[in-house]
Amino acid sequence: MMREDWIEVKLGEICDLKNGFAFKSKDYVEISETMNFRMSQIRPNGKIDLDHNPKYLPDEYASSYSDYLLENGDIVIAMTDMASDTKIGSSGFMGISTANSNQNPLGATVTALPCRQ
């Protein structure tokens, strides 16, 4: 049962849907400010861990693939399952500080729900 002080809306009225891009592993570089946000950053408990097995893309990808960049406050959802850590449907809240210099394009197995203000 919904609380009386809440209003019911369709998700599409308050959020957009942003699918990720299938970056190729050959595109990864060792040092960059542009981290590919992948499903592995959504931990089984729903927490976001940007330090878990990060993969970086060339910095120019942040502008070339700007449609795929995560923004502060985006809700991210794992779209596939991993045999060892069930995550399909797991979600997390992307709380990237504005002081964070990393740009985070979405990987192919992650969807974001950027909510409108």
Question: Is 39:50 a contact under the CB 8 Å cutoff?
Answer: no
Is 87 a residue whose pLDDT tops 70?
no
Where does the pLDDT of residue 88 fall: very low under 50, low under 70, confident under 90, or very high at 90 and above?
very low
Residue 19: exposure state from Cβ atoms within 10 A (0-12, 13-18, ≥19): middle
| Domain ranges for the chain | 15-117
- pLDDT tens, position by position, 5-42: 988 888 888 888 888 999 999 999 999 999 999 888 88
Residue 93: exposure state from Cβ atoms within 10 A (0-12, 13-18, ≥19): exposed
Instruction: Look at 110 and 96; give whichever has higher pLDDT.
Output: 110
Where does the pLDDT of residue 45 fall: very low under 50, low under 70, confident under 90, or very high at 90 and above?
confident
Annotation: CATH topology of 15-117 = Adenine-n6-DNA-methyltransferase TaqI; Chain A, domain 2 (3.90.220)
